[in-house]
Amino acid sequence: MSKTSMSTGVRTLMDLKMIDKVWGKGSRKDFYEVVPDWHQNFADFFAIKWRKAVESNMSSLKKSLKEKRALRENDSTNEQLQELIRIDEAKISEALKYYKWLDRLIDSLESGEIYQFIPKEE
């Protein structure tokens, strides 16, 4: 494995909070240890990935909704188009509700609140 790909892999693991950098006495090398809490690894990994996707998708949906509303206002005489836009707006609104729910799920992963509903095995 090249130094570049090793560095990239280590940086990715640190970004995902799966490893921590540790200090080694008398050495200038970098040392890392695996975060031992598997539940926290899972929560951090999915929270990071899902949060990015939720933000991106919600932004796109809000932009689409704004464009649909502008289109509806600009061509108010075409009833067929108005009905199609209403259907699209309803679908986008439902998608936004889903992403808001998913955002709350991510919050519960990050805060640990999810373990009140699905406890960790002892």
Coil/strand/helix, residue 93: helix
Q: Are 3 and 84 in contact (CB under 8 A)?
A: no
pLDDT of residue 25: 83
- 122 in any annotated domain: no
With a cut of 50, list the residues of the chain below it in pLDDT.
none
Which ranges in the chain belong to alpha helices (H)?
3-15, 38-74, 79-111, 114-117
Assess whether 21 and 78 both reside in one domain.
no
pLDDT value of residue 3: 81
- My answer on whether 66 and 93 are in the same domain is yes
Q: Which domain holds residue 57?
A: 38-117
Does residue 52 form part of some domain? yes
Looking at the fold, whether 10 and 58 belong to one and the same domain comes out as: no
**pLDDT value at position 122?**
77
pTM: 0.73
